[in-house]
Structure 1
Amino acid sequence: MPAPRLIVGLGNPGAEYEDNRHNLGFWFVDALARDLKISLAPQGKFHGHVGRCGDLWLLKPSTYMNRSGQAVVALAHFYKILPDEILVIHDELDLPPGGVKLKQGGGNGGHNGLKDIQAHLSVPDFWRLRVGIGHPGDRNEVVNYVLKAPRKEEQALIDATLTRCLNAWPKLADGDYAAAQRALHVKAGTPAATP
């Protein structure tokens, strides 16, 4: 597998959205940027906050969630980054807080950010790092739910999962998605297998 060249964290711009469940992708990219000592700066032509380290790009779209594809495709086309070299980190209603799943392609599960990225790339072949936020139990409550901060105990589970994702980064950076999946897909409370 090719190593990822573009890491996209999904979220909404603006201080009022910072702690929302829907901004989980932004949280990860900010943490990864800190770890890799990459500074993110606004870049108008890429519609987002962008940072670079060698061949690796980090992107936080500033287009609002439902137009995320505009930012992704602008940067990917400019630097000739292929869909299977893109990793998108996003909140996932279908996984409990603390759950995580790394996969390539597939549907969008009604996630507006993924939907727009698929539409702009014309293929679903990019990688997704799906981090669970749980479901409110009622579809009519979803918008309200994702635009609120997690409860304290949920935040602790999400933070622990994001740390696991950061720990799996060296495997992801090498394009070793199978090893990253093994490290990430252990059940909560189970120690990860050591290589």
Structure 2
Amino acid sequence: MRSLVSPLAVPPQGPRGAPGLNTGFGQITYTDRTIGAEDTFDPNVRQRLMFAPSGLTTQNLLLDPFKNHNFFVDNVLRARAMGDVYDMTVNLGVRSMQSGGKVRVDIDSGSTLGPLQTSTASLFEGATVVERVTLNFSIQVLSTFLANGALFYLTADRPLQVVSETLFLRPTSIQP
């Protein structure tokens, strides 16, 4: 004998919050979809990941106290204040000239201890097929980052072309 299954009861939702109430700090996105000479990477060579100023589009949805802060100036990530924490996603469209391989992105502030963070992704598509590589970072602002800013570097183990770059930045904590 089969038993009847009754649908799950969904509790009613509570009232909406006050309009205009935000608990986060917003986000900002920098995107470059132009291809230039700087977007070609030789294998096993650490090279700056550059966003072309002429092709850079920005979607700024930052809230106070970040609202008027420019995070990305001349391909350098600029911190607002010591102790802030930023969650970032680097989203790349890449075309490897050989199938397989790996790509690594470093965020480097010039510290004697090396990069602030490094993230690696494997490539799966065949040669010359564009594929998406998404790398996540969470960075706390310390003295070297505040003083120097931070640069993005890419290293691949195959010849590679970057066809689009996006930096999606979400401030997650603040300090005075």
Higher relative contact order (CA 8 A, sep 6+): 2
What is the TM-score with the length of structure 2 in the denominator? 0.29
Q: Which has the higher helix share?
A: 1
Structure index of larger Rg: 2
What is the TM-score with the length of structure 1 in the denominator? 0.27
Q: Which has the higher strand share?
A: 2
